[in-house]
Amino acid sequence: MEGSRALFDEMHDPSGAVRPAYREFSRWFSEQDAAALERKHRDAETIFRRTGITFNVYGEAEAEERLIPFDLVPRILTAAEWRRLTRGIEQRVRALNAFLDDIYHRQEIVRAGRLPRRLLLDNPAWLPLMVGQRPPGGVYTHIVGIDLVRTGEDDFFVLEDNARTPSGVSYMLENRETMMAMFPELFMRIGVETVSNYPRRLAKSLAACAPPACTGRPVVAVLTPGIYNAAYFEHAFLADQMGAELVEGSDLRVVGGRVAMRTTAGYKPVDVIYRRVDDDYLDPLSFRPDSMLGIPGILDVYRAGGVTIANAPGTGIADDKAIYSFMPQIVEFYTGEKPILANVQTWRCAEADDLAYVLDRLDELVVKEVHGSGGYGMLIGPAASREELEAFRAKLVARPDNYIAQPTLALSRCPVFVERGLAPRHVDLRPYVLVSPDTIDITPGGLTRVALTEGSLVVNSSQGGGTKDTWVLKE
């Protein structure tokens, strides 16, 4: 798993031969005119800009709106590869949901000595208000994104769990729509599993989690922080595609023990809220009193069974990277099985021996904040300057419990389109999982993020990465 290991190329085997997944695509690509493909590449950018698929970059002098780069070469997985992945993803998602239910009830995993209690009590993502509370249908994680990396033909590892408000699914859908618009003949030649029905499946899955107070057809709404949020395009896109209402906190209020939405005919009860607002801002009466994004009293309605909030409040603790380091034990504890998908080796800097190891090898490791996301607040040791290493060393010594460390992975590479043809770049994969009381539904494919800079291992869009369509071949 170390960076010195030979890199796995997903299109070509070590002899240079094209792997089975890419054979028909390779034949098609060899028939194409390079200039025409370059025009198509530019056309894709125009489509994305016209559609409004942008994101905001924060932390600069001014928040800057950028286009996420799109690469026209798909990332391709065989049906057999996907079957292996889905078994592991489903096992992990079941364990995550069982873990969340346990930590907000009897905490059997803590009683059994398999998880330190401090990881709950000292964690800002753990919500005491959820203790004893079971969501409608027993579902905590309605939408989950499991970030995967590949290092070999059969070697997939979970890099991160996204159980709070996983983003990026709109890019998965728009990437596919753009590819089908540009290269319809390619989809005639190659059988690819569909992803376009994701919004319909999402709406069905959310409706299946309606609260006890719902008496008719469930009313579903997407709660957005508003137009200035980095992912606002996705919120509006999903609401439109699902046929759901797009609302802000100011559109909702508590009326007669229900959360109701303002309409031209007065206030109408809402049954399921797909929230894209963080826990702290959901209810100014329970969390931050200065929040203008949430709904006063929504937590009381939720706890009384009057509304479903997806994902459930308090699920963010499953995103914590210190909790992640215990996921092999968590999976085994709740499923009775060994994990099908392994974690990346992880050192917990809160533990003295692990901290000493990390400090001794800081220039070889990737160090991450336990609550961090989006590529922010991390150190990639091999790419860091001496000054950056020393500055991060001081952070580690001051707050070791705030960090975990991992080896620099030899991420697999997929081809991207460049002026000279195809060139390999590092990728990861975020499959999207929908959970309802009786079903775990995994969309075939997901969002492939790609490090467009040669040699770079950072795929996050906020750090200059791009995206590509992900194909799962039909049998």
| Residue 175, preceding peptide bond in cis (omega within 30° of 0) | no
CA distance 434 to 226: 24
The closest alpha carbon to 457, from 358, 326, 344, belongs to 344
The two structure tokens encoding residue 250: 């100011």
End-to-end CA distance of the chain: 31
The mean pLDDT of 375-396, rounded to a whole number, is 88
pTM of the model as a whole: 0.92
The count of other CB atoms within 10 Å of the CB of residue 40 is: 17
Q: What are the start-end ranges of the E strands in 248-305? A: 252-255, 258-263, 266-269, 272-275
Q: Helix or strand or coil: residue 446?
A: coil
Percent of the chain with pLDDT over 90: 77
Task: State residue 373's pLDDT score.
Answer: 61
Task: State residue 463's pLDDT score.
Answer: 65
What letter does residue 404 receive in the DSSP assignment? E
Residue 88's pLDDT band (boundaries 50, 70, 90)?
very high
- 328 — alpha (psi -120 to 50), left (phi > 0) or beta? alpha
| DSSP per-residue string spanning 347-383 | EETTSHHHHHHHHHTGGGEEEEETT--TTTT-EEGGG
The two structure tokens encoding residue 269: 């009860």
Based on C-alpha coordinates, what's the Rg of the chain?
Answer: 23
The two structure tokens encoding residue 298: 């929504």
Helix (H) or strand (E) holding 66: strand 64-67
The 10 Å CB-count burial string (b at 16+, else e) for 208-240 is bbbbebbeeebbbbbbbbeeebbbbbbbbbbbe
| DSSP per-residue string spanning 302-363 | HHTTS-EEESPTTGGGGG-HHHHTTHHHHHHHHHSS--SSEEPP-EETTSHHHHHHHHHTGG
Estimate the crossing angle of helix 169-182 against helix 198-207, to 10 degrees: 150
Estimate the crossing angle of helix 34-51 against helix 169-182, to 10 degrees: 140
Strand 220-223 versus strand 272-275 pairing type = parallel
Instruction: Classify residue 373 as exposed, middle or buried by CB count within 10 Å of its CB (0-12, 13-18, 19+).
Output: middle
The mean pLDDT of 226-243, rounded to a whole number, is 92
pLDDT in tens, 39-68: 988 888 777 777 666 554 434 434 455 677
- Single-letter amino acid, residue 444: P
Domains of the chain are 345-408 (3.30.1490.270)
The count of other CB atoms within 10 Å of the CB of residue 360 is: 10
Specify whether the CB–CB gap between 160 and 327 falls below 8 A: no
What letter does residue 4 receive in the DSSP assignment? T
The mean pLDDT of 203-230, rounded to a whole number, is 95
The mean pLDDT of 364-374, rounded to a whole number, is 82
pLDDT in tens, 397-437: 999 999 999 998 889 999 999 887 899 999 999 999 999 99
Alpha carbons within 13 angstroms on the beta-carbon side of residue 173 total 19
Arithmetic mean of pLDDT over the chain? 91
The two structure tokens encoding residue 11: 């299109």
Beta bridge partners of 424: 415
pLDDT in tens, 253-295: 999 999 999 999 899 999 999 999 999 999 999 999 999 999 9
Beta bridge partners of 54: 67
CA distance 348 to 115: 13
Task: State residue 2's pLDDT score.
Answer: 40
CA distance 31 to 164: 44
Residue 196's pLDDT band (boundaries 50, 70, 90)?
very high
Estimate the crossing angle of helix 198-207 against helix 232-242, to 10 degrees: 80
Beta bridge partners of 142: none
Helix ranges restricted to H, 190-326:
198-207, 232-242, 298-303, 321-324
The count of other CB atoms within 10 Å of the CB of residue 14 is: 8
Residue 454's pLDDT band (boundaries 50, 70, 90)?
confident
Task: State residue 5's pLDDT score.
Answer: 53
Output the CA torsion sign for 186, 24, 14, 420. negative
Tell me the C-alpha to C-alpha distance, in Å, between residue 448 and each of 330, 429, 472.
27, 4, 12
Q: Helix or strand or coil: residue 291?
A: coil
